[in-house]
Structure 1
Amino acid sequence: APPAPSPYGQPPAQPYPGQPGQPGQPAPYGQPQATGGVPQGGGAPGLQAALSTYREAPTGQRWTPQNTRLMRVDLGVGGQPVLARQGAMVLYQGKVDFSYKGAGFRGRIVGNATGQEMQLMRCTGQGQVFLAENAAELHPIELQGDAICVSAENVLAFDESLHHEVRRIEGHGIPGGALFTMQFQGTGTVVVKTEGTPVVLPVTPTTFADSNAIVAWSAGAQVIISSQVRLRRSAYPGHSGETVNLQFRGAPGNFIVVQPHEV
């Protein structure tokens, strides 16, 4: 059997030209020496060893994280279309159709701070689609008849089989005057994106979250606009610089998800 490749697919270190040979390394005197760091045979073994960490991770499941920032969905598993944020597709394999027109089919979602529409694309077919956005961390959340509310800014993709509706949380101090959320319910998966690793906390009578950092919460939790408690580190033109907190109330078992970043 051939010897195992060295770290990162490089061959064993060769002595400098003119130095005495070492067993198993340089060719005998007068014979041509191997040059460069490419293994013989076209470099395939070395390259494969170097890139093996980044190979595709097929699992036979519908949703498969390739790493913390890249998600693969196999449309052939389950046969249901997927709705994804327009522009989130970075690669696809097989026969996949993307539909952007006819946004009235639940394809338009009003943005949070800008008031602009967030366009969704509909992915159908029998292939695999790889999704990402700005190297954000991605988290697949599987629903089995339960419900969750997600900030519209943090939605990357979801199964079309999920029932979803857009909701507004209005309050002075929220950019754009309202926080737009999506409530998902049913059976399927929604992929949430965050800036940094989020934290999940149980809802207590004293649970407050910055409206710009909240990612998601259980649908059974009650959301209340709290008083303005501090100034933002920076304010954009036309904004006072003040922000609001959201207070969450609910029975035991309710939770919130917060990211270490303000939108």
Structure 2
Amino acid sequence: MHSTLFAHVPVESTGRYTLQNPQLLKVEIGQGNGAVLARQGAMVAFEGQVDFQSQYKNRTWRNVERMAGERLELMKVKGAGQVYLAHYAQHIHVMDVGGGVTVGSGSVLAFDSSLGVGIVAVDSAVEVASAGAYNLELTGSGKVALLTSGEPLVLEVTPETNICADADAVIAWSTTLRTQMQAPTSTSAVWRRKGATGEGWEMQFQGRGHVLIQPSELLPPQHMRGGAFGFGLRGNSMGGSRN
């Protein structure tokens, strides 16, 4: 058999996470490493003795999911071997969590189970039911694999340079940043999905850190209620998932 397809063989590496191409990730399981938590259905192939289990979530986590109307179903991957992960051919980026990262649940592919997991919820006083719904706050020593639609852009935030971004394009940000949602300038546009300008809800970042955005906008926030045109996000350490 002869084909250019045979140029696409596994990339060898001693690291735990290795990109095979921009849209396919190989994860080494075992060899002294703990388990990996990955989004359910992301496995496209594996080698060796690898076990996949549904990840338990406590009652607080499930309650937050129900109220937010959004769910991130995780599976625990353990054993010994290699697992190949992908999700709708989105671009994959592996990063160290470092001082902490907050990420939209829909942009998570996998992360080390040793990381601490908290939930950052939209301020309930404003009752915006789907402005990202909820986000995961990852802390500790370890890595996370993120998904973007297209090649992303990293923006640095400093006290002198505050950053605003379309809420539907934001993927992740440093947990050190202060975050606030802002409505379109036209009050009548608040009640329409994109308003007269074509722009929807914006996220404002202040402090010192970084923001990761993608060159694609998801569906804008819907089911908006309440009279306020600006609101904050607040972090709640609810249902941390550790292993």
Q: TM-score when scaled to structure 1?
A: 0.70
Match of 1:207 in 2: 163
Moved more, 205-214 or 81-90: 205-214
Within 1, Cα distance between the matches of 2:61 and 2:109? 13
2:114 is aligned to: 161
- Secondary structure of 1:196's aligned partner: coil
Structure 1 residue 208, shift from structure 2 partner: 0.3
Distance 1:259 1:110, change over 3 A: farther
1:177 offset after TM fit, Å? 5.2
User: Residues 11-160 of structure 1 correspond to what in structure 2 (within 5 A)?
Assistant: 43=1, 46-47=2-3, 50-100=4-54, 102-104=56-58, 115-143=69-97, 145-160=98-113
Q: 2:66, 2:214 → 1: CA distance? A: 16
Amino acid at match of 2:105: A
Per-residue CA deviations over 1:11-50 (Å, capped at 9, x if unaligned) read: xxxxxxxxxxxxxxxxxxxxxxxxxxxxxxxx4xx34xx2
Counterparts in 2 of 1:107 and 1:223: CA distance versus 1, 3 Å: closer
In 1, Cα distance between the equivalents of 2:186 and 2:127? Answer: 11
Render the CA deviation track for 1:29-76: whole Å, top value 9, x for unaligned: xxxxxxxxxxxxxx4xx34xx234201102121111000000010112
Correspondence 1:176 to 2:130: yes
Give the letter for the 1:90 counterpart.
V
Amino acid corresponding to residue 210 of structure 2 in structure 1: F
The whole-number CA distance in structure 1 between the counterparts of 2:206 and 2:102 is 14
Query: Does the 8 A contact of 1:173 with 1:228 survive in 2?
Result: no
Percent of matched pairs sharing the same residue? 32
Q: Cα deviation per residue 1:95-148 (whole Å; 9 max; x = unaligned)? A: 0111116443998696699714221000010011110000000001123x4211
**How has the CA–CA distance of structure 1 residues 73 and 105 changed in structure 2, closer, same or farther, with 3 Å as cutoff?**
farther
Aligned residues of 1:110 and 1:118 also touching (Cα < 8 A): no
User: Do the aligned partners of residues 103 and 224 (structure 1) sit closer, same or farther apart at CA in structure 2, a change above 3 Å counting?
Assistant: closer
* In 2: Cα distance, 1:77 partner to 1:149 partner: 29
Distance 1:180-1:64 versus aligned 2 partners, 3 A rule: same
AA at the equivalent of 1:241: R
Instruction: Report how far residue 209 of structure 1 moved.
Output: 0.8
Q: After the TM superposition, list the runs of 4 or more consecutive aligned residues in structure 1 that deviate by more than 4 angstroms.
A: 105-114, 171-175
Question: Is residue 257 from structure 1 mapped to residue 202 from structure 2 by the alignment?
Answer: no
Q: Is the 8 A contact 1:229 1:244 kept in 2?
A: no
Q: Distance in 1 between matches of 2:59 and 2:28?
A: 22
1:152 is aligned with what amino acid? S
Q: Aligned pair 1:217/2:169, yes or no?
A: no
1-structure distance, mates of 2:29, 2:216? 32
- Asked whether the equivalents of residues 153 and 213 of structure 2 are also in contact (C-alpha less than 8 Å), the reply is yes
Answer whether contact 1:107 1:120 (CA < 8 A) is retained. Answer: no
How many residues get paired? 209
Distance 1:69 1:75, change over 3 A: same
State the distance in 1 between where 2:36 and 2:105 align: 16
Q: Which residue of 1 aligns with 2:193?
A: 241
One of 142, 147, 156 as aligned partner of 1:188 = 142
TM superposition score normalised by structure 2: 0.76
The structure whose Rg is larger is 1
Amino acid at match of 1:164: V
For residues 61 and 30 of structure 2, what CA distance do their matches in structure 1 show? Answer: 22
Partners of 1:159 and 1:188 within 8 A in 2: yes
Residue 146 of structure 1 aligns with an amino acid whose one-letter code is G
Q: Report the AA paired with residue 169 of structure 1.
A: V
Whether the aligned pair in 2 keeps the contact of 1:112 and 1:178 (CA below 8 Å) is no
SS at match of 2:38: strand
